Every structure is written in structure tokens, then in C-alpha cells.
Chains A and B, each alone.
Chain A
Amino acid sequence: MSSKIPYISLEMAKDLVTLLEQGDIDAANLIVEECSKAASEELFAEVGKLTRQLHDSLQDFQLDSRIANLANEDIPDAQNRLAYVIEMTENAANKTMDAVEASIPVAENLSSNIKTVIPSWDKLMSRQISLQEFKELCYSVDDILKKVDGDSDQLRVHLNEVLMAQDFQDLTGQVIRRVIDLVREVEDNLIHLLTVFGSPPETLIEEEKSKSGLNEKAEGPIIDAEERADVVSDQDDVDDLLSSLGF
């Protein structure tokens, strides 16, 4: 016999049989109630324990302030941070282009000024210049030298602006690194959630895949082109693909 304790003892069972044989229903029912009480008490205790556990884990889940923080503060904060990155990179691009656009006419001026004196200068070099032309050349060169002095200062200023516009890289790098950390934390929490509540059936995942799979939906810059077979990695690939299509 196993070590299990029966809900009803042998003595009580015998008493029950005797009472039933004697027709003492009330006394017999009392014995049955007495016995089932023990069994149901155990059941109640078990249900109680489970209830407490469920309550505790729900409580823990709600009390895990990290999750609440993630949802209420960190993720909106990350959105702001990423918006800041867009703003910073846009400002840098505009500052750089401002400087470049301001430099282009300076460079063009320089080039056209030099082109105007080259014919006289060539004559000088081949000793075929008249005195009058020589005088004019001297004035022109003097004029150009003074202009170039100012222009080169201006170019240096613009180049410096281009250089300084790159200061976003450090700042946006730090911001993006923090957002990456946050994404990692959210990932960890999601994995934890999945292990607690179980993962969705495979079929659902498969369905999702096929839904978002083969199509021409915009995806933005591809950052892992080398590891993917469905994307081109550079302009040469594009040209090859198009020419294979008869372009």
C-alpha cells in the first residue's frame, strides 16, 4: 500500500457501513461530510496558494517600476532624442552647404580673375609684351593679389565653418548609443514577458512573415546589404540588374 492517507479511515468507513445498515442516515451523512471536509480543505488551500501566487506575480509585474518607466518616460524620451539627432544632422548639412555655396563664387571669381591676366602674362613670359601692356598687367596683378588675399581669408573662414559643422557627430553618436541601450533593455523585457506568458503559436509568426515579405514596400537605407540576397549593394549592382532587364 502507498503512503497516501485515505480521505476516510478504515474505522470511519466501517462505522459508516454500520450506520447505513442501521438506517441512521443523519449520522452516516455526518461522517461523509467530515471526510469530504478534509479533501476540500486541501483543495481550498491549493487554490488559495495559486491565487496568492497569481496576485503576487501580477503585483510584481505592476510594481516593476522599470517597465512603467520605460513606457512612460524612456521611450518618449528616446523619441525626443532621435528627433534631436535629425535636427542636429539637418543643421550640420545646412551649415556645410551654406559654407560651400558661399565658397563657390569666391572660387569662381578667383578663376575668372586669373583667366583675364593669363594672355598678358603669357606675352610677358615670351618677352613679347609692350610697355603699355606691361603697365596694365602690373596693375591687374596688383589688384588680383590684393583680392586673393581677402578671398583666401574668406575661404579659410568657410572651410572652418565646414569643419565646425561636423561637431554633431560626437553629440548624435552619444545620443544614438543611449537609444541603442534603451532598445536593448526593451528587448530584454519583451523576452522576459514572452517567457512568462508564453510565445504565440508558430503559425501566427509564419503568417506575419508572409504578409510582410515579398513586396516592393519602402524600407529605407539598407545597413546590412552584404548579408542579404534580396538587395543590391551598390550602383554597379543596380546598373547590372537594370541592364539584365534590357535597360
Chain B
Amino acid sequence: MNTNMKVLVVDDFSTMRRIIKNLLRDLGFTNVQEADDGATALPMLQNGDFEFVVTDWNMPGMQGIDLLRAIRADDRLKHIPVLMVTAEAKKEQIIAAAQAGVNGYIVKPFTAATLKEKLEKVFERLG
């Protein structure tokens, strides 16, 4: 796992961004930036060299699922792995996220161990 990669954390609650940032730092990821919804995140992704996105689903403005679809629809971004960390727990939503090309799905509340496990799995699969 290359922990030097640039990571974007997207969540409308600053406390959740802070928690994820802290957990990522604990796992060695120090190059982490934040956005408060999909509409803020997308231009950041288009202008920056991000290699990983952690996003919430339910946000004002652009929702996480739409951000995921926008990333997959953009030729320059579609390779970026996306991990969803969300309270949304309907089976249909998880299926929709899988169909949209999500790389991992974590339901809140979650533990540090879950985040670590899913992150490792995402990068293991990508090789």
C-alpha cells in the first residue's frame, strides 16, 4: 500500500472528515485533503492528482453516489478507487453503488479495524 498517495475525504460533517483523516494518518496516509460534498470534490479531483477517494453518500448538493458515477464517467478520473463510508444501509443502495463501480463499502458506525481491512482489500485487488 503506497501511503504517500493523495487522498480526498468527502463528507458533509467536519467531525467525520476529521475522524477519517485521523484514522488514515494512523495507517500512514499523510497526504489527505477534504471536501464537504460531491460538487466541491469533483473539481478538486479534476484539478488534482488524487489517487484515492473516501466518500459519504448522503450530502447536500452532490451526493456520494453521483460523485462516484461522475468519477467513473470521466476518462481522466475513472481509474481512481472509491471507498464509500456511509450510514446508508439499504440493500438496493449497496447494489447500486456496486453497479456504479465502487471499490469498497463501509457502513457507519464503523471501526478503525474495518477501515484498515477494507483499504487493504481495495489496494490488494488493484495490485
- B residues neighboring A (CB under 8 Å): 13-15, 18-19, 22, 57-58, 63, 65, 87-96, 98, 105-108, 110, 114
Q: Which 10 A-B pairs have the closest CB atoms?
A: A218-B58, A93-B15, A221-B87, A216-B96, A231-B89, A222-B89, A216-B93, A232-B89, A245-B98, A231-B90
A241 lies within 8 A of B91 (CB): yes
20 contacts between A and B (CB under 8 A): A94-B15, A97-B15, A97-B19, A100-B22, A215-B92, A216-B65, A216-B92, A218-B57, A218-B58, A220-B88, A230-B91, A230-B92, A232-B91, A232-B94, A232-B107, A238-B89, A238-B107, A241-B94, A242-B94, A245-B98
Of A101, A214, A238, A241, chain B has the most CB atoms within 10 Å of the CB of A238
Contacts of B94 in A (CB 8 A): 232, 238, 241-242
Q: What is the size, in residues, of chain A's interface with B at 8 Å between Cβ atoms? A: 26
- Give, as a whole number of angstroms, the nearest-CB distance from B68 to chain A: 12
A234 contacts the other chain (CB 8 A): yes
**A220 and B58 alpha carbons, distance in the complex (Å):** 7
- A residues neighboring B (CB under 8 Å): 90, 93-94, 97, 100-101, 214-216, 218-222, 225, 230-235, 238, 241-242, 245, 247
Contacts of A242 in B (CB 8 A): 94, 98, 105
Beyond the given pairs A216-B90, A216-B96, 9 more chain A to chain B contacts, judged by CB atoms under 8 angstroms and listed by A's residue number, are A90-B14, A97-B19, A100-B22, A222-B89, A222-B90, A231-B91, A238-B106, A241-B94, A245-B98
B92 lies within 8 A of A235 (CB): no
Contacts of B114 in A (CB 8 A): 235
Cβ-closest chain B residue relative to A100 = B22
- Give, as a whole number of angstroms, the nearest-CB distance from B83 to chain A: 12
Contacts of A232 in B (CB 8 A): 89-91, 94, 107
Of A101, A216, A219, A242, chain B has the most CB atoms within 10 Å of the CB of A216
Contacts of B106 in A (CB 8 A): 235, 238
Contacts of A101 in B (CB 8 A): 22
Contacts of B18 in A (CB 8 A): 93-94, 97
